Amino acid sequence: MLASLLIVFREVFEAGLIVGLILAATEGVPRRGRWVAGGILTGGLGATLVAAFAAVIAGALRGVGQEVFTAAILIVAVAMLGWHSTWMARHGREMAREMSAVGRAVKGGQRSLLALAVVVAVAVLREGSEVALFLYGIAMSAHAGPVPMLTGGGIGLLLAALVSLLLYRGLVAIPLKHLFTVTNGLIALLAAGMAGQAAAVLASADILPSWGDHLWNTSFLLADDSWIGSALHALVGYSARPSGVQVAAYATTLVVLILLARYAAQPSPARSVLADDAVSPHR
Amino acid sequence: MRISLLAAALSCLAAPALADEPLHLTIKDHQFQPARIEAPAGVKIKLLVKNEDAMAAEFESFEMNREKVVPAGQEVPVFLGPFDKGEYPFFDDFHQDTKGVLVVR
């Protein structure tokens, strides 16, 4: 029971932090609960499928199918986060300036929610597939009946959901004026972390060069297997011993996201002047 | 000094050589066999992990920055390094008592 509790808690904890962050980032957007729940459900279903076909996936592409699959879903999540942060950058300004934009905002908000629901699904899929594999193994080994396993798993799930709720509560305690600045920053770091992990996973499959296996080692300060270490790993991509390619992907993603957000946040007059010039060059 | 730094940077960028022979590791009855593997320093290592148990395992190492699920009855490759000389512990994330160490010489 304790083993099930610990492993379920550990995996759901990481996905739960991402869910908590995304709930905070969508504070006030109508119907976000439904989207996030949909993401969790889809991710959970996907996780059971991935666990069921783990042998097929692992055997694919000369044994590196798992890495390619993980990197692919991480890259999808990074793209979705990038899209969301660009949208937020553009939209925050619009909403402040003209109330008429609010109607559009709600529509756009729904689309942005879809992107974030995909991110939630990816997070749940990644961690959930490990939980499913582990619990399936326990059920097969049949040392103990399913009751302690399910009890342990259930308690682990509840505790992790509690952590996720605490993160959400902590974030939304930030005054609304600053909340989205904080969540936008965290989302950029989340995206960078996921890109870094994707690169690291591809390097571990020998698809990308590692550019140095340990660029540095900060495990004496904060170990990967500590709770804070794994929380920061899930949220901002912390790694005590990152590979070169991981750091490169992290930094590149962060810079690209900041530039995209800057560009998107430019006040629209600048853009409409450009548009006018394009239409009537002889003005 | 500057040249050697540059050389070090360049050698990082170039794809390191892969060790000639893959190393083998078997998981059986929740034990790594062998529990101690020796590997050469400075080359990339291909470790073939075979799981002979009926349940999935996860080869994991913080020191080597790796984690990979090894489904029941399967053999999967894990690419490691290149490493400096030293000891690099690993474990099965699904059975944390299952431990082993890679010794790089």
Q: What per-residue confidence (pLDDT) applies to A144?
A: 64
CA dihedral B13, B15, B16, B19 (to 10 degrees): 170
Q: CB distance from A243 to chain B under 8 Å?
A: yes
Q: CB distance from A50 to chain B under 8 Å?
A: no
Average pLDDT of span B81-92: 92
Q: Which residue of B has its CA nearest to A224?
A: B62
pLDDT band at A279 (very low <50, low <70, confident <90, very high): very low
The strand order across the sheet containing B45-51 reads B31-33, B23-28, B45-51, B75-80
Tell me the sheet residues that pair with B87. Answer: B103
* Residue B44 DSSP class: B
Q: CB distance from B58 to chain A under 8 Å?
A: yes
% of chain A at pLDDT higher than 90: 58
pLDDT band at A278 (very low <50, low <70, confident <90, very high): very low
Write the ipTM.
Answer: 0.79
pLDDT band at A269 (very low <50, low <70, confident <90, very high): low
Contacts of B85 in chain A (CB under 8 A): none
Q: CB distance from A94 to chain B under 8 Å?
A: no
pLDDT at A73 over 70: yes
pTM of the entire structure? 0.85
Average pLDDT of span B6-13: 52
Cβ separation of B55 and A64 shorter than 8 Å? no
pLDDT band at A214 (very low <50, low <70, confident <90, very high): confident
Cβ separation of B83 and A213 shorter than 8 Å? yes
Angle at the Cα of A142 (from A138 to A145), degrees rounded to 5? 90
Range of weakest confidence among A88-92, A155-159, B1-5:
B1-5
CB A186 within 8 A of CB A235: yes
Cβ separation of A59 and B74 shorter than 8 Å? yes
Say whether the peptide bond before residue B34 is cis (omega within 30 degrees of 0): yes
Domains of chain B with bracketed CATH: 16-104 (2.60.40.420)
Q: CB distance from A267 to chain B under 8 Å?
A: no
pLDDT at B17 over 90: no
Q: Which residue of B has its CA nearest to A206?
A: B79
CA distance A3 to A122: 25
Domains of chain A, by residue range, sit at 2-263
Cβ separation of B56 and A204 shorter than 8 Å? no
For the ranges A81-85, A95-99, B98-102, the one whose mean pLDDT is highest: B98-102
pLDDT band at A94 (very low <50, low <70, confident <90, very high): low
Mean pLDDT, chain A, whole residue set = 86
- b/e map of A92-101 (b: 16 or more CB within 10 Å)? bbbeeeeeee
Q: CB distance from A140 to chain B under 8 Å?
A: yes
* Residue A28 DSSP class: T
Angle at the Cα of B77 (from B73 to B82), degrees rounded to 5? 150
pLDDT at A79 over 70: yes
